[in-house]
Structure 1
């Protein structure tokens, strides 16, 4: 019975990961057609931070060092290509995210790496701890990316009179 439950949990996790990646790609494509403001940049990491409540459950807890390593892998390896492909431009006095041809390819490559790592890590720790590690990795990717985007956004605003009301 536990094998069946674990198999279903693994499949749900895999489908959820692929679904989330597709959602990010879709949202990213739509984001280039709408003006950006500071709240749209800042809110994803704030909203995602509620996920740290998962660590209230004992079965999800991991050693602190594992969490640090997962965060650093996300921040160093996964965030960097996203930071490099996220730029802004001004159009009609508003700030927009510039569409990058490389962004979707990078997201797909990161998804493949993440799924491969997930399979490997899951052979050594429980599925709950694997989920916790990859949540921290994703947060480690999202936070520096959004901080870099916010800094770039503020820099663009300081160089011009555009979007002063959106700060």
Structure 2
């Protein structure tokens, strides 16, 4: 049986979160060199939706209103800076994300806030439940951001560039 209150597990989950955040920053920086497509906009939230399988495990389950609140915080608060910093440009008939120096700082700022919240929340509920809350927060954030990206992409695209 796994001891979910183990300090080693807490440190490990924090390190994993940091590694994932740095990976996202590098992926986003590389993505600005490739054209944007509808698939590239839609795949991240679709792929992330497999994370809902974590709720099969009893220890991960949280009250529905906690999940809803976390989703809404991600949707309305955490997605806002990402939406504001994501802009497209058309280059030789293809759509690219504009390079934004602020994007890296925004991701690092969101990471810092998330780490502070994570440290506080995991003192009050179990680590699996904390993971569930932050999954819902991240899912709300990415879905709203990607919907915004899709709408912006549609404004830039021509009928033949949609896929």
TM-score, normalised by the number of residues in structure 1: 0.93
Partner of 2:160: 164
1:155 deviates by 1.2
The answer (yes or no) to whether the contact 2:21–2:111 under 8 Å persists in 1 is yes
Structure 2 unmatched runs, 5+: none
1:165 deviates by 3.9
| Deviation by residue 1:83-123 (Cα, 9 ceiling, x = unmatched) | 00001101111110111111111111100000000000001
Structure 1 unmatched runs, 5+: none
Partner of 1:152: 152
Partner of 1:106: 106
- 1:77-96 mapped onto 2 (5 Å cutoff): 77-96=77-96
Q: 1:4 to 1:51 in 2, by over 3 A?
A: closer
How many pairs are equivalent?
163
Partner of 2:132: 132
Partner of 1:118: 118
The answer (yes or no) to whether the contact 2:94–2:161 under 8 Å persists in 1 is no
1:4 deviates by 9.3
Equivalent position SS for 1:96: strand
Partner of 1:36: 36
| Deviation by residue 1:8-58 (Cα, 9 ceiling, x = unmatched) | 211111011101110110000000000110000000000000000000000
Equivalent position SS for 1:150: helix
Equivalent position SS for 1:42: helix
Equivalent position SS for 1:118: helix
Q: Counterparts of 2:65 and 2:42 in 1: how far apart (Å)?
A: 27
Partner of 2:10: 10
Equivalent position SS for 1:132: helix
Q: Counterparts of 2:146 and 2:48 in 1: how far apart (Å)?
A: 12
Q: Counterparts of 2:98 and 2:4 in 1: how far apart (Å)?
A: 45
Q: 1:80 to 1:5 in 2, by over 3 A?
A: closer
1:166 deviates by 4.1
Q: Counterparts of 1:68 and 1:138 in 2: how far apart (Å)?
A: 12
Q: Counterparts of 1:146 and 1:23 in 2: how far apart (Å)?
A: 18
